[in-house]
Amino acid sequence: MKIDNESVAFITGGAGGIGFAIAETLGSRGAKIMLADLDQSKLDEAAAMLSAKGVQVGTVVCDVADEQQMRAAAAATIDQFGKVHIVVNNAGVALGGVPGEIAMKDWRWIVDINLIGVAHGVEIFTPLIQSHGEGGYFINTASMAGHGAGPGMGPYHATKFAVVGYSEALKLELAPSNIGVSVLCPAWVKTNIHRSALDKPTGGSDESDPQFQAMATVIDGGLDPADVAEWTAQCVEADRLYIFTHPEFAGAIDQRYAMIKADYDACADFPAFQKKAEG
């Protein structure tokens, strides 16, 4: 998709981190930007920085887990800019824990933001993009955690795997409407996502906890969001489905799919399945 001064982009989680970096990058290509986030003061700061660079920008306070707030944010975007072409479903939170010890209200919190928030963006904005007939694009933020799992972060993996699968389906379903789809799958990026767990419904973690500090150290050594955003824009322009950012994780992906292939091949040795295939 071409990104230029005719483009209008709506970005959730847009006041900081990857969302703001994408706003800067799209804005540098001429796009008009509507930033959505939870905190008006942070939105004002972000908008001021974009305006200083000559970007046309609006802001709207919005909780992506709330359908009515998302519909109001979409209406505000149309009111200000007339139409929308690019939707960046970027807002997200992190949550880990031990199976059997994770409160269901915390599960619902992360699913509502990381998955239902993306679904709200797609369901609400798809008709708006289709209505002007100029085509458009969805960028859904997942993670490398949507392609491989490890212990301790089950809820996060569950939501990010879901966003990857959802985006794969959308790529096929929206192509006839000239709407492209990319799923952003970074590993470590210098953002504050690790701090989001402090806001989970059952109460925040202790920042002095060794696990929290270890995560903070890893994230602090991650990629600059500006580099992730520039690569994201280039992948959108190239119509890539998967936007990966860490070449060093290629071996982990190869290992995962080798395990899948081995277990898939194993089913061919089960007699009942052989007969079904022959029949």
Tell me the domain boundaries of the chain: 8-245, 250-279
8 A C-beta contact, residue 26 and residue 53: no
Query: Given 137, 156, 242, 264, which residue is catalytic?
Result: 156
According to the model, what pLDDT value does residue 205 have?
Answer: 65
According to the model, what pLDDT value does residue 277 have?
Answer: 67
Mean pLDDT of 57-85: 98
Q: How confident is the model at residue 216 (pLDDT cuts 50, 70, 90)?
A: confident
Would you say residue 60 has pLDDT above 70? yes
According to the model, what pLDDT value does residue 275 have?
Answer: 76
Residue range 115-140, pLDDT digits in tens: 999 999 999 999 999 999 999 999 99
According to the model, what pLDDT value does residue 198 have?
Answer: 85
Q: How confident is the model at residue 188 (pLDDT cuts 50, 70, 90)?
A: very high
Whole-number Å distance between alpha carbons of 95 and 205: 10
- Helix axes of 154-174 and 104-111: crossing angle, nearest 10 degrees: 30
163-177, 184-198, 241-255: segment of lowest average pLDDT: 184-198
Q: How confident is the model at residue 215 (pLDDT cuts 50, 70, 90)?
A: confident
Mean pLDDT of 29-34: 98
Tokens read off for 228: 């992730």
According to the model, what pLDDT value does residue 279 have?
Answer: 56
Mean pLDDT of 106-115: 98
Whose CA is closest to 189, among 156, 149, 229, 159? 229
Mean pLDDT of 135-163: 97
Portion of the chain with pLDDT greater than 90, in percent: 88
Q: What is the DSSP letter of 77?
A: H
According to the model, what pLDDT value does residue 236 have?
Answer: 98
Would you say residue 64 has pLDDT above 70? yes
According to the model, what pLDDT value does residue 212 have?
Answer: 76
Mean pLDDT of 49-56: 98
Kind and range of the H or E element at 17? helix 17-28
Note the pTM of the prediction, 2 decimals.
0.95
According to the model, what pLDDT value does residue 260 have?
Answer: 97
Would you say residue 226 has pLDDT above 70? yes
Tokens read off for 279: 């029949």
Q: In CATH, which of 3.30.1490.20, 3.30.70.1400, 3.90.1010.10, 3.40.50.720 is domain 8-245?
A: 3.40.50.720
According to the model, what pLDDT value does residue 37 have?
Answer: 98
Tell the residue number behind the tokens 């149309």, with chain if given: 78
Would you say residue 38 has pLDDT above 80? yes
According to the model, what pLDDT value does residue 141 have?
Answer: 98
CA distances from 112 to 189, 254, 260 (A): 23, 31, 29
Active-site residue flag, 156: yes
